[in-house]
Structure 1
Amino acid sequence: MFKHALPAILLAVSSFAQAANPITHKIFTADPAALVDQGRVYLYVGHDEAPAGGKEYVMNEWRVYSSCDMQHWTEHPAPIPYTTFKWAGRDAWAGDIAKRNGKYYFYATVDHKSIPGKAIGVAVSNSPTGPFVDARGSALVSNDMTHETPIAWDDIDPAVFVDDDGQAWLYWGNTVMKYAKLKANMIELDGPIHTVGLDAFTEASYLHKHDGRYYLSYSQQFPERTVYMTGPSATGPWSWGGVLMEKNSNVNTIHQAIVDFNGKSYIFYHNGTLPGGGEFRRSVAVEELRYGPDGSILPVAQTAQGPAANPSAACK
């Protein structure tokens, strides 16, 4: 997959401007992860490849896009296939990304070849656009490591958070949220796996920090809506915040990623608004996210226009 990677100067294969949502009309995309680096937002999405009328997820790779203004998106030519992990048998489900010590670590949900159930792998690259390679040669988390539920998909949706003190944390789960410390090398757990009870937790746990407060958002109920809680540390204790984004009309899932970029905050999510879209043919979109004077997150409505242009110095 990566042997045809182009020189860095040719990395951007296409750039497009349109009504901001969804961020691409060319393919169906889902499960956004986002990273801000050197004046650009990098967006990592699963590629929904189910045919019209399909009845299951068909996801074989993650695609990479970037923007310096939140309206013009560049597609990069090196997708991350699930086969990056030789121990994976199928599926490119939700992932997340973090930068540390000049390297980019991509945490991804795949199906394990030899241990029944979903697993979490970690790939690494010297560039936010890849190519990525397996950082371990084995799963970071597999289904035999967790026993809170009898389902095979309870180890999904990894979200990584690096705190101001340098401690990295991994959050994941379906039905029950789990979290663990990561070692400084970003590819090993540092201690036990913890679980925490959250109100009607489904999946898509995500942690971000704003003005000294920790915000834990997640998908609640099914069909899902995005809600959030707040706390004084990366491990809580957590207090109810409110509903961040309401349910989709024709898609049961929603899946958020939240970043600060060029003085504003943004939330990525997916819905089924493209023609022919739906449960297995989703589309990633983005909105500006705002906070109230008390630190609460104001409810976010889904729009076709998306956020206003916010060009960074990288656009010049």
Structure 2
Amino acid sequence: MKKRFLFLSVCMALAGSMGAQVKKNVNTDPYPYGNPVIRHMYTADAAPHVMPDGRVWMITSVDHENGGGYSTMHCYHAFSSSDMVNWTDHGEIFHVNDIRPKDAPASDKWAVWAPDFIYKDGKYYLYIPIRIQHGAESSQEKRKVTAYLAVAESNSLTERFKVLTPQIKETRGIDPAVFRDTDGKIYLYWGSHMAAQLKDNMYEFVGKPVKLEVDTDRFMEAIWMNKHDGKYYLSYHTKYGNKIDKNHPDDPNRKPSELAYSVGDSPMGPFKYGGVMNYELGVGVKNGPNLPGYDYVPWRLTQSNHGGIVEYHGQEYLFYHTSALSSWRQDRFQGPGTWTQRSVCIDELNYRKNGSIVPVKQTIEGVAAVKINQPAVVNLSLKQASLADGESASVSNVNLGTGYYYFSAEVSGVTAPLKIEVRTGATDGKLLGTLLVKKDGYVDTSLIDANGKQTIFLKAVGGNVQISACSFFAGNVE
């Protein structure tokens, strides 16, 4: 653990020194390419998810317009898109001053780093890594850093989040990721590959946090979880060397700044190392501007990698960040841009038949616009069904098209907490999602792999219940 924090301290010190040398953003001409996707401000650490309105939403960190390094990351913005190309900025939804105590010492530098968020039971929960640098900036070797996670909640992604708890007990570290499995359980990941199942209140744990087995010694930070074809993919930023020689950027003796992944059969592992998901920034980019005198793009010389993955209507996408926009705004691609003035990029993420990930092809063009030709909602023809524990109701020929991301129902006759499993093909077929029922009324849940023409089975587990008004939704923009 001491070695881990020593490594982070070195990286933070370098980040601060690089941030202090930032050039001014003097070029106001429009950015000429499709990647990055947000071009009016600096954004990083994107957390992308499909939300109940059928749009892809991302909450991002914000790198300061005037530089200053990681200690000046003070707020989050929310963005949304219905086609992965055109993004709407919904403004600032959280600021470090929303959580920093009024009596905090003036010498302490508070920052909020890479976030993640989730929708549950009509509310949105934002997981915030708090990073506090105690004391003066100049005392690099002696300064103390505190890092932990907090949670905020909101009724809408267009409204400001309010702090639910200022510190999640038993968390130490940065980069939270939150994941809901098809059985309805929600997991939180953070720091040096730590994980725990969340309780229903979304800030306490079921049992003690555990350190995951990831089958590599290169794990550094930026953990993310996604599920594909029944397997759990844990991705992360690797440990890396701190300087790239522009004459030998691919020096095999220097550890590269990559996104790698490990694969498991459970959200808590163990995980087996799978390989590289995203090479260093700028590797293999075609059709873009070259650094004068060299055969690669200018931002090839900067490091920092943070991934977020989302599936949207049949295609998975990797969100990451580069300094391409700062390279353009500072000197029209004549230099690499600033490491700590980053901007979100999106490219396709694909898998081989054996389940391994094809390393993402970084592009300057970005992804093609997604076109969706299906209703926002599919209502099941099941008007009402009374289910005893273990019984199922089925509906044939349900057309889920290119994907639906949530399921809802009205329930009654509930006398104790139970589950309603949403399955395809059979009562014990593929599990798409699980409604966690606590009382009579409306209930919903997220889904994974709900697409194509299916026979849907709704199975009661743990109690008796009456169900009606069943719908798949978020299959298009409302």
- Does 2:168 correspond to 1:140? yes
Tell me, in whole angstroms, the C-alpha distance in 2 between the residues paired with 1:170 and 1:124. 16
The structure having more radius of gyration, on CA atoms, is 2
Partner of 2:318: 267
Q: Which runs of 5+ in 2 are unaligned?
A: 1-29, 135-143, 242-256, 282-299, 331-336, 377-475
Partner of 2:64: 49
Out of 278, 298, 302, the residue aligned to residue 251 of structure 1 is 302
Deviation at 1:103, TM superposition (A): 1.0
Deviations 1:169-226 (A, max 9, x none): 11111xx321111102212122212113531110011111011111111111225200
Tell me, in whole angstroms, the C-alpha distance in 1 between the residues paired with 2:42 and 2:133. 26
CA separation of 1:226 and 1:72: change in aligned 2, threshold 3 A: same
Partner SS state of residue 97, structure 2: helix
Partner SS state of residue 83, structure 1: helix
Deviation at 1:113, TM superposition (A): 9.0
Out of 193, 199, 212, the residue aligned to residue 177 of structure 1 is 193
Partner of 1:237: 270
Q: Which runs of 5+ in 1 are unaligned?
A: 1-15, 147-153
Tell me, in whole angstroms, the C-alpha distance in 2 between the residues paired with 1:36 and 1:197. 29
Partner SS state of residue 191, structure 1: strand
Tell me, in whole angstroms, the C-alpha distance in 2 between the residues paired with 1:213 and 1:163. 11
8 Å contact from structure 1 (residues 289, 297) kept in 2: yes
Amino acid at match of 1:210: H
Partner of 1:278: 338
Partner of 1:28: 42
Out of 176, 195, 206, the residue aligned to residue 211 of structure 2 is 195
Backbone CA RMSD of aligned residues: 2.4
Identity of aligned residues (%): 36
Deviation at 1:129, TM superposition (A): 2.6
8 Å contact from structure 2 (residues 179, 226) kept in 1: yes
- Count residues in correspondence: 287
Amino acid at match of 1:310: V
Tell me, in whole angstroms, the C-alpha distance in 2 between the residues paired with 1:187 and 1:113. 24
Give TM-score scaled by structure 2 length: 0.56
8 Å contact from structure 1 (residues 123, 135) kept in 2: yes
Deviation at 1:311, TM superposition (A): 2.9
Give TM-score scaled by structure 1 length: 0.84
Deviation at 1:296, TM superposition (A): 1.5
Partner SS state of residue 293, structure 1: coil
Bigger shift: residues 59-68 or 70-79: 70-79
Deviations 1:134-182 (A, max 9, x none): 112x2014xxx46xxxxxxx60000011111111111111xx3211111
Out of 51, 72, 77, the residue aligned to residue 58 of structure 1 is 72
Tell me, in whole angstroms, the C-alpha distance in 2 between the residues paired with 1:263 and 1:282. 28
CA separation of 1:214 and 1:197: change in aligned 2, threshold 3 A: closer
Partner of 1:131: 160
Amino acid at match of 1:192: K
CA separation of 1:35 and 1:107: change in aligned 2, threshold 3 A: same
Deviation at 1:297, TM superposition (A): 1.3
Partner SS state of residue 318, structure 2: strand
Partner of 1:228: 261
The structure showing larger relative contact order (alpha-carbon pairs under 8 Å, at least 6 residues apart) is 1
CA separation of 1:212 and 1:197: change in aligned 2, threshold 3 A: closer
Deviation at 1:295, TM superposition (A): 1.6
Amino acid at match of 1:311: K
Partner SS state of residue 156, structure 2: coil
* Residues 106-117 of structure 1 mapped to structure 2, 5 A cutoff: 106-112=126-132, 117=146
Amino acid at match of 2:43: T
